[in-house]
A = this chain, B = another copy of it.
Amino acid sequence: MAALQRLQPVRRVAVSGGTHGNEMSGIYLVKHWLREPSALQRDSFSATPFLTNPLAIERCVRYVGRDLNRTFTKQFLNSKAARDEPYEVQRAREINHLYGPKGSAEAFDFLFELHNTTANVGACLIASAQDNLLPMHMCHFIQTHCTPGYYPILLYNLPDQETYSISSVAKHGLAFELGPQPQGVLRADLFTQMGALMACALDFIDLFNKGTTFPAFEMEAYRFIGSVDYPRHPDGELCAAVHSKLQDKDFLPLRPGDPIFQTFSGEEILYQGHTTIYPVFINEAAYYEKKIAFNKTEKCSLSIPALQRE
């Protein structure tokens, strides 16, 4: 068993909504908290809510020039302002200035990202990798303390890949990804659930700050390993849809030979892989342009050491 790990207390916390301007739960939660900030206050800190991509939110689109949540990399954050650059590059630098700089001692301690997907992922908790202990303990706390439910954990970073999402600007971060919810729609049930997740996460930080010892534990997670594109005609047009038997089956096992697509002419296309995988973000609206019909993950078991503040 690994020894107890110690981390500095968490004082500066930010909550970002509307990194994608048509994901409504986070947008309306942040707008609500900006009017009534008390929900984000705890004894040991207060979280700062902010709207991430105001121009995209105003137009109710995912982004204006490029996907903001793929723009928090060195390439963009260290670039010089240019007249013809996408709006999101400028906004990423601003956010990095306000809540980072990424990788520095001055960066915020924790940054939450609030997202929605059209896929049936339920209430999914997304961390970049397992080596950042604070988010992993937060996930475990949510799984054991939040309203009974299924809170799958997704690890999105490939080995040696640079982190690119907004939460990577702070020292620690976590994304809440709730679905299914259509783009541009606010569902009361997901709004309430996202608010409850946020409250539970802030309670965890408060307990951590107050010196609570969080014991070691084992947990299950889903690790991103790649993606699968839609079948296409030679001219690039789709020739099939996600199969009805795969639709809405996020985080469930997909075995070699299982159907994954049905062509518009009615034929089935089967999964040709050699191992069981766990698809996520199945038929996500925003991923058509990224040529992703679903992401592939593998299930893994993690051993997380005990944690306490310094």
Contacts and interface: CB of A to CB of B under 8 A. Distances in A.
Interface in A227-279: 233, 237-238, 241-244, 247, 262, 264-265
A235 to B, nearest CB: 10
A36 B265 contact: yes
Majority SS of interface residues in chain A? Answer: loop
A28 B288 contact: no
A305 interface: no
Q: So how many copies of this chain end up in the complex?
A: 2
Given A191-B241, A241-B191, A184 B285 contact: yes
Interface residues of A, number: 38
A286 B187 contact: no
A64 B241 CA distance: 26
A243 B210 CA distance: 38
Contacts of A243: 188
A183 B186 contact: no
16 contacts: A28-B241, A29-B264, A31-B237, A32-B264, A118-B184, A182-B183, A182-B285, A183-B183, A183-B285, A186-B283, A187-B247, A188-B243, A188-B247, A188-B262, A189-B244, A192-B244
3 A-B pairs with least C-beta separation: A182-B182, A184-B285, A118-B182
Interface of A: 28-29, 31-32, 35-36, 60-61, 118, 180-189, 191-192, 233, 237-238, 241-244, 247, 262, 264-265, 283-286, 288-289
